[in-house]
Amino acid sequence: MTIRQFGENRRNPCSFRQYGLLAALVNAALILAAPAFVLPLQAGQGQTVLMIGDSLTAGLGLSRAQSIPVRLESALKKEGMDVRVINAGVSGDTTAGGRSRLGWALSEKPDALIIELGANDGLRGLDPKATLENLDAIINEAKQAGVRILLTGMRAPPNLGAEYGDEFNRVFPALAARHGVVLVPFFLEGVAAVPDLNQEDAIHPNPKGVDVIVRNLLPYVRRLLRSAD
């Protein structure tokens, strides 16, 4: 992410109540059911998680050890899980960029995929229909490869207006419902617009912000990795 509009609006964040309610309903329906395309991995067997995303995943402004994928892997290992998390983040990437390089990324043969894309689509005011189409293609390709999927949601910057924000924010829960994948309602929950948890650009999390994000992700990733049991 290289555009600063979100940071400029950090003192007046939107609540997105409708988005949050829809996402909650989607997750409530999905918690009890693992996707039909889950591979039959044995409990305790080493698993590989591919995290495809933008600069939030890549760890812009952070050391490698401070990045979300590394911290997430460490947290999972502390819980006794034999897991490797691959960082497939590219700074500035959009959903179109992620779609174009997914095939290459899947050559790592991951067991699970975390999709963290869409923030730059929103910052650039790209058509939400294109965002939905790209993410839909990413999910379909991953499903065809037999990969379990965790989709993380993003919210449009408030300065783009309520109409755009509502359409953009509906993309993620709609896709989760369509494909039966688990959704993290908002990837930056508890971190966005909190100065102490972000770098000077007010967009990218600092190490303390990374810790909050990882803590939020853990229940979802834990369920994702154990869904084959």
Residues labelled catalytic: 55, 201, 204
Residues 25 and 3: their CA atoms lie apart, in Å, by: 32
What b/e string do you get for 22-35 counting C-beta neighbours within 10 Å, with b at 16 or more? bbeebbeebeeebb
Residues 173 and 66: their CA atoms lie apart, in Å, by: 29
- The letter for the amino acid at 103 is G
Residues 200 and 228: their CA atoms lie apart, in Å, by: 41
Tell me the C-alpha to C-alpha distance, in Å, between residue 51 and each of 67, 126, 167, 172: 12, 23, 25, 17
Residues 159 and 180: their CA atoms lie apart, in Å, by: 31
